[in-house]
Amino acid sequence: MTKKKKEPRWQREQKQRKKYKSRQIVGYILAIIFFILITGISWRVYGDFKNSVWDGKNRLNLVLNINPISLVSFDPSSQTISFLTIPDGTYIEAAGDYGPYRIEKIFPLGELESRGIELLAASLETYFGLPVDGRIKAGGEWQGTGGAKRLLSGLIVLGLKEKSLTNLSRWDLVRLWLMTNRTRGHKVEVVDLGETTVAEEFGLPDGTKAKRVDNQRISRIISNLFTDYQIRQEDLAIAIMNAGGETGLATKAARLVANIGGRLVEVGDWPERLTECQIKTTSTAKKTYTSQKFARIFGCQLRADLEKDSRWDVMIILTGESW
């Protein structure tokens, strides 16, 4: 048996250098892949933070395009969830110039213009005098009131899987899911409009019966379910002025402000026509939650134009092109 010839030292060192270089290259590739993954995840998380519509501290109002269509409100401070369900066949005014529509037909109407859930949310916001922060569009039946919390949790998970179903960011959805699942069952309230005195029957031209909601009588239910306690706690004096000429614009906005806890001291007309809405505040009121909230609701620019001794803390001046 012949003895295997030992490799020269220089050959062994050359092989070791090649292995070392190969490992270095693999290490560099893995580091680059890791960096790309971390950068992508960080950018996605940043995008979720940037696109967040909810601060996680104050009341969040949602419209759920389910059957029956529902308005849902979550209040983090009291850990309560409120459901307001609107039965099929209920007529409300659709946003824009569409006029009265059955509630379940507004989403398909909006889909013709690729804004189904947006039209539904705008219609509910205007008709019920309630700001709608988030939207989740999903089909399916909801049977019974016992599954309200489970339903909301399931829709949040659905929104996480299919981002196109909601305007909430993933960060919003994760926080809402965690808080919803910590909410105790006795803190979940469900109100069916069809079982209240605010829904009344009326006859259609074809002789059939339908229901409509008296949007004045419903204000008490809305304020009970959807009051923003941060606005009520700040208790700022609020005035609303119509600078657009549209009849009832200020009155309509005043109803929303009052429904969610604002303290109204004046509603009237602005002496001149404006093309863009404004919110005038005192210097101390500009950074308050109330001012920031109404700036988001009405899409107005905030300006600290009011004197310190003004009778108003916040003056909302609306135009026909605004809310």
Q: Which residues contact 267 (CB under 8 A, 6 or more apart)?
A: 239, 240, 241, 250, 251, 254
Task: Report the pLDDT value the prediction gives residue 86, as an integer from 0 to 100.
Answer: 92
Q: Could you tell me the pLDDT band of residue 141, with boundaries at 50, 70 and 90? A: low
Answer yes or no: is pLDDT of 49 > 80. no
Assigned CATH for 60-210? 3.30.420.590
Q: Which residue has the tokens 């998970």?
A: 157
Q: How far is Cα 103 from Cα 70, in angstroms, rounded to an integer? A: 10
Task: Report the pLDDT value the prediction gives residue 187, as an integer from 0 to 100.
Answer: 92
Task: Report the pLDDT value the prediction gives residue 75, as an integer from 0 to 100.
Answer: 92
Q: Where are the domains of the chain?
A: 60-210, 228-318
- Across the range 239-244, mean pLDDT stands at 94
Answer yes or no: is pLDDT of 42 > 60. no
Task: Report the pLDDT value the prediction gives residue 254, as an integer from 0 to 100.
Answer: 94
Task: Report the pLDDT value the prediction gives residue 144, as an integer from 0 to 100.
Answer: 42
Q: How far is Cα 305 from Cα 132, in angstroms, rounded to an integer? A: 28
Give the range among 19-33, 51-65, 95-109 with minimum mean pLDDT.
19-33
Higher pLDDT among residues 43 and 233, named by residue? 233
DSSP-derived secondary structure letter, 8: P
Distances (CA, A) of 159 to 68, 81, 138, 167: 18, 18, 9, 9
- Across the range 124-153, mean pLDDT stands at 79
For residue 84 the two structure tokens come to: 């307001």
Distances (CA, A) of 130 to 122, 201, 203, 297: 10, 23, 27, 10
Tell me the β-bridge partners of 241: 268, 317
Q: Could you tell me the pLDDT band of residue 323, with boundaries at 50, 70 and 90? A: low
For residue 241 the two structure tokens come to: 């002025």
Helix and strand totals (H; E) in the chain? 9, 14
**Topology adopted by domain 228-318:** Alpha-Beta Plaits (3.30.70)
Q: Which residues contact 229 (CB under 8 A, 6 or more apart)?
A: 59, 75, 77, 78, 261
Task: Report the pLDDT value the prediction gives residue 137, as an integer from 0 to 100.
Answer: 86
Q: Could you tell me the pLDDT band of residue 145, with boundaries at 50, 70 and 90? A: very low
Task: Report the pLDDT value the prediction gives residue 47, as an integer from 0 to 100.
Answer: 56
CB-based burial of residue 16 (10 Å sphere; 0-12 exposed, 13-18 middle, 19+ buried)? Answer: exposed
Task: Report the pLDDT value the prediction gives residue 143, as an integer from 0 to 100.
Answer: 46
For residue 201 the two structure tokens come to: 């029957």
Give the model confidence (pLDDT) of 269-318 as tens digits: 999 998 899 999 999 999 999 999 999 899 899 999 999 889 999 999 99
Task: Report the pLDDT value the prediction gives residue 179, as an integer from 0 to 100.
Answer: 93
In total, the chain counts a number of residues equal to: 323
Q: Could you tell me the pLDDT band of residue 10, with boundaries at 50, 70 and 90? A: low
Task: Report the pLDDT value the prediction gives residue 290, as an integer from 0 to 100.
Answer: 95
> Which ranges of the chain does DSSP label H, i.e. alpha helix?
9-50, 103-111, 116-128, 148-161, 170-182, 219-226, 229-234, 249-259, 289-298
Q: How far is Cα 36 from Cα 321, in angstroms, rounded to an integer? A: 44
Q: Could you tell me the pLDDT band of residue 2, with boundaries at 50, 70 and 90? A: low
Q: How far is Cα 80 from Cα 190, in angstroms, rounded to an integer? A: 11
Q: How far is Cα 302 from Cα 304, in angstroms, rounded to an integer? A: 7
Task: Report the pLDDT value the prediction gives residue 115, as an integer from 0 to 100.
Answer: 81
Task: Report the pLDDT value the prediction gives residue 149, as an integer from 0 to 100.
Answer: 87
Q: What value does the mean pLDDT of the chain take?
A: 85
Which residue type sits at 33? Answer: I
Contact 241, 315 (CB under 8 A): yes
Give the range among 196-205, 236-245, 302-311 with minimum mean pLDDT.
196-205
Task: Report the pLDDT value the prediction gives residue 84, as an integer from 0 to 100.
Answer: 93
